[in-house]
């Protein structure tokens, strides 16, 4: 069939990435998440190449406006995606209700939904994963007051324990101050996952344009995903505003730090700050000991070797 064009290969790369998560894509989604193309192609060019490329027709199949790798049960994949979308919609209703509490904490400046929440691809047992931006000098007190009510009411993840998994657990595993919004320093070599993570983040609330700054400090993503513009704050996700409570003072920050550092599980303390999985500083708190980015990269590049 001859040498494939850059656009054909970029479409295939995009389909292969999402095949790892059993997620078929619409034409618009292929265009938006087009992975490492030489340039930013137009949506019309995606329609054209899918219609005319014999190589892509051999590799892909379509059903009800979705595309996936040939040989997959695309009908079942679409049905499962719809089920997960409805679960995520339900979770967003819950998140918007709970986010009223976030407004009570003056040092909490912005909150975004990430991971499966950002992709509207959750199950009832999936975590409601959140990325939290705080004032400088208040990251420990912010985490303390955010986590406490969910811990007391049993709405925290209990992965790895013998207790029954909670439904719709809230996971506060990633905090950063307003001066530490750049993600590039956390990247692995060829870190496709982090690029998707940055561009898929769904703002839930933002007091003072922190996610605009987040976008500016993560311009590096454009080289990987040139068509994936950052998501903006949607009115359907924004909670009602409430006055903040005077419960966070910088004078008590050292106490909050001491309490939470002492409560960290030993396996987290052992790997903290050794690499980008677990980061524990006064500017960033990231507790992702089960960081699968390297695994996703290796699986994806193996797929590339087979299909592109």
In this prediction, residue 103 carries a pLDDT of 86
Cα–Cα distance measured from residue 219 to residue 244, given in angstroms and rounded to the nearest whole number? 32
Residue range(s) occupied by CATH 1.10.10 in the chain: 6-72
Residue range(s) in the chain whose domain bears CATH number 3.30.460.10: 87-291
Instruction: Give the pLDDT of residue 246.
Output: 65
91 burial (CB, 10 Å; 0-12 / 13-18 / 19+) is buried
Task: Give the gyration radius of the chain's Cα atoms.
Answer: 21
Beta strands 170-177 and 284-287, pairing class:
antiparallel
CATH architecture entry for 6-72: Orthogonal Bundle (1.10)
The CATH T-level fold of domain 87-291 is Beta Polymerase; domain 2 (3.30.460)
- Kindly give the confidence (pLDDT) of every residue in the chain, 308 residues in length, as a single tens digit, with 9 standing for 90 and above: 568 999 999 999 999 999 999 999 999 999 999 999 999 999 999 999 999 999 999 999 999 999 999 999 999 999 999 999 999 999 999 999 898 889 889 999 999 999 999 999 999 989 999 999 999 999 999 999 999 999 998 888 875 444 456 789 999 989 999 999 999 999 999 999 999 999 999 999 898 899 999 999 999 999 999 999 998 877 766 665 666 666 666 668 999 999 999 999 999 999 999 999 999 999 999 999 899 999 999 999 999 999 98
Residues contacting 85, CB < 8 A, separation 6+: 120, 121
């Amino acid at each position: 069939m001859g040498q494939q064009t850059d656009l054909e290969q970029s479409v295939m790369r995009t389909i292969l990435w999402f095949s790892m998560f059993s997620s078929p894509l619409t034409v618009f989604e292929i265009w938006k998440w087009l992975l490492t193309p030489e340039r930013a192609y137009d949506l019309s060019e995606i329609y054209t190449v899918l219609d005319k490329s014999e190589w892509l027709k051999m590799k892909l199949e379509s059903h009800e406006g979705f595309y996936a790798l040939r040989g997959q049960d695309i009908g079942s994949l679409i049905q499962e995606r719809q089920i997960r979308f409805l679960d995520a919609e339900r979770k967003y209703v819950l998140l918007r209700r709970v986010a009223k509490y976030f407004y009570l904490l003056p040092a909490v400046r912005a909150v975004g939904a990430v991971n499966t929440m950002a992709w509207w691809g959750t199950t009832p047992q999936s975590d409601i994963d959140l990325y939290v931006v705080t004032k400088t000098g208040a990251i420990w007190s912010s985490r303390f007051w955010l986590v406490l009510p969910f811990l007391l009411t049993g709405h925290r993840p209990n992965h790895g324990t013998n207790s029954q998994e909670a439904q719709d657990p809230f996971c506060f595993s990633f905090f950063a101050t307003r001066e530490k919004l750049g993600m590039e320093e956390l990247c692995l070599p060829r870190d496709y996952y982090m690029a998707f993570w940055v561009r898929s983040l769904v703002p839930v609330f933002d007091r003072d344009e922190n996610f605009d700054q987040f976008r500016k400090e993560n311009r590096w993503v454009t080289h990987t995903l040139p068509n994936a513009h950052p998501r903006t704050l949607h009115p359907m996700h924004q909670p009602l505003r409430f006055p903040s409570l005077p419960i966070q003072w910088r004078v008590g920050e050292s106490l909050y730090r001491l309490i939470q550092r002492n409560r960290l599980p030993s396996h987290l303390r052992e790997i903290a700050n050794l690499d980008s999985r677990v980061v524990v500083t006064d500017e960033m708190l990231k507790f992702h000991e089960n960081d699968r980015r390297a695994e996703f990269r290796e699986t994806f590049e193996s797929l590339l070797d087979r299909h592109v």
